[in-house]
A and B are shown apart, each in its own frame.
Chain A
């Protein structure tokens, strides 16, 4: 029998039901994989007991003839941005090191209610700020992928880099991610897995450490589209504890999966053909266009004229919200407190926050503070908010002529760790294709399309209308079937 850890969420779920293997066996297999993959540094905390308990619970339910929950016995990884009761939750920061919430985030609770187990808390860019997972206080996450003929450590993307690395290395069949400007899609693309960010408001933000409230949205990362659909279905749903949560029923996305795209129009936005885009990315994009045509879709060229303003607007709005959201980490009530001898309150704040936040977090707090300050607010924040409205309008106009948009996920394949660390602007450019749909709150996903010349995965992004996750998943499935992406990294770790 093949290795259990090669199976995805749907196969594990079905296998447990059919008695092919027990929930306990599944949990044990993944727990062992996790324990042997320290070199990837994907987990900040491992919670084997949690995964094993879920496996046993599935076995007991099966033995007793009780109906099994949708994810019964499936172990997953939990991005360490989700608060988990009694389990350290850090957002990969020093300031929250040792913090054990007395509450469970709505999304993680829904997954546990669906029978899933937790293998551990996944590493990420600190407070989800980064595109390479190099800003974590707990060290870089290493991608399981390597360039052909090189042993250089590659970035798994960010901020959900622990999630992407763990799923790609088959340490878990699926993982939660959060996406503020591309933090699910870009890492998924970097490691050759699928990842979906639903419409803003589908997944509750309650209990998720906030980065930028108007953009943050949880989503699923897994090895294929079906697994993403299953997982997202379990994570979504109205939550009265989050005012921005959508009070709508959760569609049966898995049931609705179909790779038949006949009757759909797929838009290709001219503005996403940016200067300096590698030929391989452009070629993959064209390949994607051919695939969706092959699946029956009509392809139309569309214009999203304000695209070039999306990145600057995002890097004003997101830091502005972050500068305020992170004010609560002050050393007064929980987390790190640095109280130098004889320090007063202001000095305690300064010492605590200087020691507790990493450079990238500080950079964004400073940017955010600046753009909100008196005299600059209108020039930056107000303007950026207007740009955001225009970008949303661009998409609305596009929906008049198409049902979906197809673009590359990122402007490049994964880069080596350290390669862009010294140049924050180059790093921020990684989000150029993912940020506009985040600003508009639209559902979007990345699916693997192929490998570049160095043997590194490349992703294609599908963007949908508000609440239209189904067609996004369906187009993803159509590409998945045609791409036949089976490449996997050699286990060097």
Chain B
């Protein structure tokens, strides 16, 4: 079932948006694409620069096998064609952050060919509205350095730490039709990259950024002229850019002006895109095959090793959580969207099964529910992410085991969990030391019930007179008198008996 198509409502009618994304993802690797220099984020300026990165005379690039391996694995994860023969090209232009005077990239023969990414448009039910976004290609290329204009009143400084770092440029087909689709695509791509481990996906550190191509047309018409908004660095911003740019283009066209093919910049503070340079004054990059590098030829053994090293990917995992673990579609989707979450969940699951001596599928639902509602809720409140969780998967499993064996009621479990968050202590210790154990001691409960009935003669009379809704009142009073530690099932049973 498709939801209503996204349309920009112009003065002259409705417009359809066409979106394609070029995503630059920094390859996870200890060394740069063509040099041995380190790639750590946030290092002192120019502390991670080799002679090659600085383009000293006579220095030559040699490809880093790990970067190629990661790009190939990424290609395999999106079901793409891997080109066993590819080649590096030079993209020539002058800029102070580009020491060689050219970027080594792949224009004519990219490493990875066509593939696809599936996106879900219904959060509640991931299978309800699925769309396949085509991938045109993935090529590997060098990143540039960084200019710093804020260090000196009249001079600019150059930091070459990033110069030469390996990037994958993942080029989609113009298959997206709404801000939501563009956002879902970027989020899904990020998820896949993190599963594969080929990019950390840290958009705030610039490890992943998108060039957003947008055009508008009357539904069903030919493609319109597109603009490209550069270096957009969050899912939310990508969605904003699509919305803003589509609206701007519709206004332009409806005002009788033409859209010029140009490069634009996004200003998140002002919520607008601005022209950077138009096609007319675009660079002539004079691409040609890099004569310092031989063509890249991959053998079957290398490709096989890449394939064998791929982990279970998010869609497969999600389906398995539903079919094998019996999780709801929503829970399965939430737990598999991010590789770290899935890893955390699977640790919790394994430990829960172990301590309760049960199968994983028997403890899966309780584990999933606790993780999604209790732990996520708490982390959200504390402003932390899962990696910073004060409670470990092992501790979570201990808590769940105490609920499962009746030691803790739901209410008590929440109390214990709060203490765990505060102190970092384990549930068994907290229960032991603070006496938070639930009791099923019928003698003790009966004694309390007798006291409650004696203290509330009016209510007792009303209840016996037929006002059965007051049963809950007696349960509450009993639980309260027992400090919440009574087993609710036992309380119910004994109360019914006592009330006759």
Q: How large is the interface on A (under 10, 10 to 19, 20 to 34, 35 or more residues)?
A: 35 or more
Contact A332 B292 (CB under 8 A): no
Distance in angstroms between the alpha carbons of A293 and B51 in the assembled complex: 51
Asked if A465 is an interface residue, CB under 8 A from chain B, the answer is no
Closest to B101 in A: A327
Give A312 Cβ to nearest chain B Cβ, in Å: 17
Per the 8 Å Cβ criterion, residues 336-363 of B in contact with A are none
Hey, which chain B residues are within 8 Å of A146, CB to CB?
none
Closest to B283 in A: A374
Contact of A103 among B51, B100, B292 (CB under 8 A): B51
Contact A333 B92 (CB under 8 A): no
Asked if A240 is an interface residue, CB under 8 A from chain B, the answer is yes
Give B106 Cβ to nearest chain A Cβ, in Å: 15
Known: A327-B100, A369-B286. A242 touches B54 (CB 8 A): no
Distance in angstroms between the alpha carbons of A88 and B102 in the assembled complex: 26
Known: A328-B99, A328-B101, A381-B288. A333 touches B294 (CB 8 A): no
Binds A, one of B55-63, B228-236, B305-313, B433-441: B55-63
Asked if B281 is an interface residue, CB under 8 A from chain A, the answer is no
Closest to B97 in A: A332
Contact of A373 among B62, B95, B100, B286 (CB under 8 A): B286
Contact of B56 among A241, A242, A327, A334 (CB under 8 A): A334
Interface of B is mostly: loop
Asked if B158 is an interface residue, CB under 8 A from chain A, the answer is yes
Contact B292 A345 (CB under 8 A): no
Per the 8 Å Cβ criterion, residues 275-294 of B in contact with A are 284, 286-288, 291-294
Distance in angstroms between the alpha carbons of A96 and B56 in the assembled complex: 11
Contact B59 A372 (CB under 8 A): no
Chain B 6-35 interface 0/1 with A at a Cβ cutoff of 8 Å (1 = within):
000000000000000000000000000000
Closest to B88 in A: A243
Known: A241-B62, A243-B63, A328-B57. A214 touches B51 (CB 8 A): no
Closest to A240 in B: B62
Contact of B292 among A244, A334, A349 (CB under 8 A): A244
Contact of A243 among B59, B99, B293 (CB under 8 A): B293
Hey, which chain B residues are within 8 Å of A334, CB to CB?
56
Distance in angstroms between the alpha carbons of A131 and B101 in the assembled complex: 27
Distance in angstroms between the alpha carbons of A261 and B92 in the assembled complex: 49
Asked if A47 is an interface residue, CB under 8 A from chain B, the answer is no
Distance in angstroms between the alpha carbons of A206 and B61 in the assembled complex: 9
Closest to B49 in A: A333
Closest to A205 in B: B60
Give B450 Cβ to nearest chain A Cβ, in Å: 88
Hey, which chain B residues are within 8 Å of A243, CB to CB?
60-63, 292-294
Asked if A320 is an interface residue, CB under 8 A from chain B, the answer is yes
Contact A372 B92 (CB under 8 A): yes
Give B426 Cβ to nearest chain A Cβ, in Å: 53
Per the 8 Å Cβ criterion, residues 193-208 of A in contact with B are 205-208
Contact A91 B57 (CB under 8 A): yes
Give A83 Cβ to nearest chain B Cβ, in Å: 5
Asked if A309 is an interface residue, CB under 8 A from chain B, the answer is no
Asked if A258 is an interface residue, CB under 8 A from chain B, the answer is no
Contact A333 B54 (CB under 8 A): yes
Contact A333 B99 (CB under 8 A): yes
Chain B 39-79 interface 0/1 with A at a Cβ cutoff of 8 Å (1 = within):
00000000000010011111111110000000000000000
Distance in angstroms between the alpha carbons of A105 and B291 in the assembled complex: 19
Hey, which chain B residues are within 8 Å of A83, CB to CB?
56-58
Contact of A242 among B60, B90, B95, B102 (CB under 8 A): B60
Asked if B96 is an interface residue, CB under 8 A from chain A, the answer is yes
Contact B54 A210 (CB under 8 A): no
Known: A207-B58, A212-B291, A243-B293. A327 touches B51 (CB 8 A): no
Contact of A210 among B58, B90, B158 (CB under 8 A): B58
Contact of A328 among B55, B95, B158, B291 (CB under 8 A): B55
Contact B291 A214 (CB under 8 A): yes
Contact B291 A321 (CB under 8 A): yes
Hey, which chain B residues are within 8 Å of A208, CB to CB?
58
Contact of A241 among B54, B60, B94 (CB under 8 A): B60
Distance in angstroms between the alpha carbons of A213 and B284 in the assembled complex: 22
Hey, which chain A residues are within 8 Å of B63, CB to CB?
243
Distance in angstroms between the alpha carbons of A91 and B293 in the assembled complex: 23
Contact of A377 among B55, B57, B288 (CB under 8 A): B288
Asked if A99 is an interface residue, CB under 8 A from chain B, the answer is yes
Hey, which chain B residues are within 8 Å of A206, CB to CB?
58-60
Contact B100 A328 (CB under 8 A): yes
Hey, which chain A residues are within 8 Å of B292, CB to CB?
210, 213, 243-244
Closest to A381 in B: B288
Contact B284 A324 (CB under 8 A): no
Distance in angstroms between the alpha carbons of A241 and B56 in the assembled complex: 14
Closest to A105 in B: B58
Contact A332 B291 (CB under 8 A): no
Known: A349-B94, A369-B286. A96 touches B99 (CB 8 A): no
11 additional A-B residue pairs with CB within 8 Å, beyond A105-B58, A243-B294 = A83-B57, A89-B57, A101-B58, A208-B58, A213-B292, A243-B293, A326-B101, A330-B94, A334-B56, A373-B286, A377-B287
What are 20 pairs between A and B in contact, CB < 8 Å? Answer: A82-B58, A101-B56, A101-B57, A208-B58, A210-B292, A243-B61, A323-B92, A324-B90, A324-B286, A328-B100, A328-B101, A330-B94, A330-B101, A332-B96, A332-B158, A345-B156, A346-B94, A372-B286, A373-B286, A374-B284
Report the 7 A-B pairs with minimum CB-CB distance, sorted nearest first. Answer: A327-B101, A213-B291, A372-B286, A214-B291, A328-B55, A207-B58, A209-B57
